[in-house]
Amino acid sequence: MVKRIGWIAAAVITSTLAAFLFLAADLTEQQAASPQAAKQMVPDNPSEHTPPAQPIPYSHKKHLALGLDCKDCHTNPQPGKLMTFPDASKCMLCHVTVSKDKVSIEKLAEYAKSKQAIPWIRVYAVLPGVAWNHRVHLEAGVTCETCHGQVRQIEAMSELTSVTTMYSCLNCHEMNHAKTACDTCHKH
């Protein structure tokens, strides 16, 4: 009887250990498959924000899944304050053949042909009185996901995170040992 109980205990311990190792391996695999998940430092918005109606529907999820990166479309010209939106002609490098018969791509082609900028609606706006600069943050190694959340997982861009709040900025600066004096962000 004692041998049988010992064997059952060993089996329970072995199966529990195997289950734990399986779950740990699965978690490690998920983290490796989605490294951006660990990088978001700015909390999500406590309330849902509806994506603005854009002049052309655009899916970050679909385009980033194809291997595009944020900087492929959003550049940071001098003085580095804002990230730009791509010219329609850049989009047409692919869309001259990809989905060219869709109404939205035909509209995109018209913007490109007329050399007119697409009137995208900015989702995140820097608050008045804040001296913000993307360049400084990019040079410090801050990724887009750190502030803008899991953009790779959404169809229509909305204000996913609370990045435009003073709390989020101060909290991130403190966590990363960056300056937190008022004049770091508020210039007179």
Tokens of 22: 């399986």
Those residues with Cβ within 8 angstroms of residue 162's Cβ, 6 or more apart along the chain or in another chain: 42, 43, 44, 45, 46, 168
* Rounded mean pLDDT for each run of 10 residues along the chain, 188 residues in total: 49 40 38 48 85 94 93 92 93 93 95 96 90 93 91 92 91 92 88
Q: What is the pLDDT of residue 6?
A: 52
Q: What is the pLDDT of residue 135?
A: 95
Q: What is the pLDDT of residue 29?
A: 41
With 0-12 CB in 10 A as exposed, 13-18 as middle and 19+ as buried, what is 74?
Answer: middle
Neighbours of 135 (CB within 10 A): 15
Distance between CA 33 and CA 56 in Å, rounded? Answer: 30
Distance between CA 68 and CA 155 in Å, rounded? Answer: 15
Nearest to 58 by CA among 131, 151, 141: 151
Distance between CA 166 and CA 185 in Å, rounded? Answer: 10
Nearest to 39 by CA among 144, 184, 155: 144
Q: What's the pTM value of the predicted model, to 2 decimals?
A: 0.71
Q: Which helix (H) or strand (E) holds 93?
A: helix 88-95
Encode burial over 15-52: b for 16+ CB neighbours within 10 A, e otherwise: eeeeeeeeeeeeeeeeeeeeebeeebbbeebeeeeebe
Distance between CA 103 and CA 88 in Å, rounded? Answer: 15
